[in-house]
Amino acid sequence: MKKIALIPARVESKRFYGKLLEKLSGVPIILRTYQSAIETNVFDDVFVVTHNDEIIDLMKSINGKYLKSSSNHESGTDRIAEVAIDFKYDIIVNLQGDEPFIDQLSLEELVNGFNDKEVKMASLMRDFNDKDELNNPNNVKVIVDKDNYSINFSRIPMNSDNINYKHIGVYAFRKETLIEFSKMGKTVMEKKEKIECLRYIENGGKIKMFKTDFSGISIDTPEDLIRAEEYLKRQ
């Protein structure tokens, strides 16, 4: 199977405007994420997908690979679907530009999951570290069935006999599933929770979840950037 990682990138984040251009130990976050994805050696190719000229200039400065998209996308998955139509890759992985610490073993398990022909879309999850992390609405929760297919996602802890796991925002698709996903209209729960993968569930799709022990940092706020700097110093 041929595998490609696409990193959708924009600067208009409401919680932390321009965060992908912020520097983490002297390197813009988007470039750290791009370079980390390449260094895993999991993918046949890695591209940043953006409409933003500043991000494009950054990619050019390192001779990095990028694809220019429309500016009219509300979700990262819709952005990568625009450029993926003519791809000849079997598996397309959507990596979040604001998660610069990437775990090779987790990504290998994720893409190898597609050896099961029943898997059309997959993602990652881990245990919560504490109650504060669980109750933080920036951390998406997921509950799964006995076969580790997602039942529901939410920004608040879900009352359930099933364990609430922390969703890690990495999505992997078969190419045809990605294109199908992008043609689905936004759904009620997707709009309410602002969690794009709910669109697939509300349309009857199944998302295979793979559990990891890796605990990276998603940079959603200036405080997260400080935590990321501290994390790097400990490495």
Model confidence pLDDT, tens digit, residues 93-117: 999 999 999 899 999 999 999 999 9
Contacts of 47 (CB under 8 A, 6+ apart): 4, 5, 6, 7, 65, 66, 67, 83
| pLDDT above 90 for 76 | no
Our separate counts of H helices and E strands in the chain read 9, 11
Say what the pLDDT of residue 216 is: 80
| pLDDT above 70 for 56 | yes
Total tally of structural domains belonging to the chain: 1
Q: Supply the DSSP symbol for 89.
A: -
Q: Which amino acid would we find at residue 163?
A: I
Give the structural domain span for 43: 3-234
Whichever domain contains 21, its CATH number is 3.90.550.10
Note the Cα 88 to chain centre separation in Å. Answer: 21
Burial of 179: CB neighbours in 10 Å, binned 0-12, 13-18, 19+: middle
Q: Supply the DSSP symbol for 145.
A: -
pLDDT top residue among 11 and 155? 155
> What string of DSSP letters covers 29-82?
HHHHHHHHHHHTT--SEEEEEE--HHHHHHHHHTT--EEE--S--SSHHHHHHH
- Across the range 41-46, mean pLDDT stands at 97
Say what the pLDDT of residue 15 is: 67
Say what the pLDDT of residue 159 is: 83
Q: How far is CA 196 from CA 75, 154, 222, in A?
A: 7, 11, 24
* Alpha-carbon gap, residue 228 to 222, rounded angstroms: 10
Average pLDDT in the chain: 93
